[in-house]
Structure 1
Amino acid sequence: MVKQSKAYSGTRPKVMNIKEVADYLGVHTSTIYKHAQRGTIPAFKIGSDWRFSEKHINLWIDEKMKNKNKS
């Protein structure tokens, strides 16, 4: 029998790896890796692997678009 956590209910947020984010944004994986290391893209590490919340990536894109439109 699988024990379920009582602390979490609902759908889980989508978490992506570097390749998935690169594909999503249409850029090379090295570009995403550099941005993650510099802290210019919302990311977090699990062990030595970078992970990205789809929600936070979308918010980051929205913010970039707002700033672009202000210029």
Structure 2
Amino acid sequence: MEDRWLSVDEIATYLGIKRDTVYKWLNNKRMPAHKVGRLWKFRKEEVDEWVTSGGAAEKPKDAKRP
């Protein structure tokens, strides 16, 4: 069983999204990630749980309502 940390590019590919979306989710939606030096690293299981619990669908915490 492979248990390793994924990079921004790898998690974007895994989720089928653009790398810019990963950075937006990190800033606005509190996507689960860990900073290692200057790099963001991800655990696939944490991201899976966050997505299935609706984290990717939520409005940003600081979003203003019209």
Same fold (TM over 0.5): yes
Cα RMSD (Å) of the superposition? 2.5
- In structure 1, runs of 5+ residues without a counterpart are 1-10
Aligned to 2:36: 46
Contact 1:44 1:51 in 2 (8 A): yes
Tell me, yes or no, if structure 1 residue 55 matches structure 2 residue 45: yes
CA distance in 1, matches of 2:20, 2:30: 14
TM (normalized to structure 2)? 0.69
- Distance in 2 between the 1:38 and 1:44 partners? 15
Query: Given the two structures, how large is their TM-score scaled by the length of structure 1?
Result: 0.65
Question: Structure 1 runs of 4+ off > 4 angstroms?
Answer: none
- Structure 2 unaligned residues grouped into runs of 5+: 59-66
Higher strand share: 1
Aligned identity (percent) is 26
Provide the aligned length of Structure 1 versus Structure 2: 57
Judging changes above 3 Å, is the alpha-carbon distance between structure 1 residues 43 and 24 closer, same or farther for their aligned structure 2 residues?
Answer: same
Structure possessing the higher radius of gyration over alpha carbons: 1
Alpha carbons of structure 1 residues 48 and 39: separation in structure 2 relative to 1, 3 Å: farther
CA distance in 2, matches of 1:37, 1:63: 18
